[in-house]
Chains A and B, each alone.
Chain A
């Protein structure tokens, strides 16, 4: 779907006059995929949560908690910043944040792509279960904590305890890492990893960043099963 066409035909919903519940109900009830433009979001919570159709939703401004949570199939673009938990538990589709995201972006997300063009704060991609998360800026502490599957690409820096208690998610960081969490180690960037970062950056419309500049981090797999020698690391 061409973005320009989608914008031209978009149905406008003004949250200064319509409740978030009414907006979401309309998005859930729409019988055919459509384009929607949400005006005056004003930091309200749960905007465009629970979508299950190939809608294109553009939000003009800053949103509160859990925006585009549980998303399936839809493309949600936020022209502003996000509160806690944007795209939490996303299943598929694409969520793009033009500003910065607060804590727990893409928490437990199983599929789809979250792109944050600014920074994401603490616990980005916490417990990630298969989605792709691309952050143009930096991420805060405890990012990818217990992440199980999927990819986190950070073009800036990562805060303390990156990838603590990590399972099989892949973490790519271009800048510095304040500290790695328990059982998270640096791993070699093989050609397949460079190709994966390139593909994710392209899908995220992020130019001017070289995939070769990233380092890869993953699980050392020492904490998978309880062992008394590791007691201090659990």
Chain B
């Protein structure tokens, strides 16, 4: 069991409270996933020609200021680090690919959580309520966000094993369920040049989407091909620069509920996570049909 939450603001006023509302959703989903928690926020787009990276260090005293100086030397311009607990986000005057390559070579001790123009991923082992507090999520504004609470089934409980998993620039995946063919699929994807940080099954699904998108599939095509190539149970939520998409496996082993008002669109594993949102009792609600790709945003799934 795990918990998933997705929240999309339809008004500027709602954007300001995105973090506090997503936090409330995660706390409701803590009983579905007490082991670890994570979020992806889409906010504060990097200027044209720049990119944003979020990084994790397991060293509590990590010298983020030192890294900032190095980034300025290498790329001429880099923002001050925006530090949240064990994570830091930088806006760098460089192509995301160049920034990633440089970081991988020069700072292998760091884990790249996300890269792109707007995405920021934060995740950590431990109870969701503690995570929400430690990362001060309630103060974060943004256009949309995904969240996850994890109950580990097939691999260890660490920061790296937590969700969301990055699936490319401004893309991420959260998952409720389990995949049974992930070991074989991981070997196939590694031969295709996809890199993995853990033995986690969801990371394979994320790598699979990365590979499909790299090969030219649209997000909708990539998600639809999951139904042919992934064996197991899943409700997936995929975050994109413009919104999010949802897919349940055709057997519908894992739950999902969606709701919409004039202010927001939300998806969650259970209604109790939506009940904490303003206007929830009067929201339009439905259960996404299995084997059908749903998406929100502007031309997200083109």
Stretch in contact with the other chain, from B5-13, B189-197, B271-279: B271-279
Q: Looking across the interface, which residue of chain B has its beta carbon closest to that of A40?
A: B275
Q: In the complex, what's the smallest C-beta–C-beta distance from A227 to chain B, in angstroms?
A: 27
Cα distance, A102 to B287, chains bound together (Å): 7
- A56-80 contacts to B, CB under 8 A, are 61-62, 64-65, 80
User: Which residues of chain A are near B270, meaning CB under 8 Å?
Assistant: 43, 64-65, 83
Q: Looking across the interface, which residue of chain B has its beta carbon closest to that of A160?
A: B250
- B281 lies within 8 A of A61 (CB): yes
With an 8 A cutoff between CB atoms, is B255 at the interface? yes
Q: In the complex, what's the smallest C-beta–C-beta distance from A15 to chain B, in angstroms?
A: 11
The number of chain A residues touching the other chain, given as a range, is 10 to 19
Given contacts A42-B272, A43-B270, A81-B285, contact A122 B255 (CB under 8 A): no
- Within 8 Å by CB of A103, from B255, B272, B286, lies B255
Given contacts A81-B285, A102-B287, contact A43 B255 (CB under 8 A): no
Q: In the complex, what's the smallest C-beta–C-beta distance from A168 to chain B, in angstroms?
A: 26
- A64 lies within 8 A of B252 (CB): no
- A140 lies within 8 A of B271 (CB): no
> Which residues of A approach B to under 8 Å, CB–CB?
42-44, 61-62, 64-65, 80-81, 83-84, 99-100, 102-103, 121-122, 140-141
> Which residues of B approach A to under 8 Å, CB–CB?
252, 255, 257, 270-276, 281, 285-287, 289-290
Would you list 29 pairs from A and B whose C-beta atoms are within 8 A, ordered by A residue? Answer: A42-B276, A43-B270, A43-B271, A43-B274, A43-B275, A61-B281, A62-B275, A62-B281, A62-B285, A64-B271, A65-B270, A80-B281, A81-B271, A83-B255, A83-B257, A83-B270, A84-B255, A99-B285, A100-B285, A100-B286, A100-B287, A102-B257, A102-B287, A121-B252, A121-B287, A122-B252, A140-B252, A140-B289, A140-B290
Known: A43-B275, A64-B272, A103-B252. 5 other contacts (CB 8 A): A43-B274, A64-B270, A64-B271, A84-B255, A121-B287
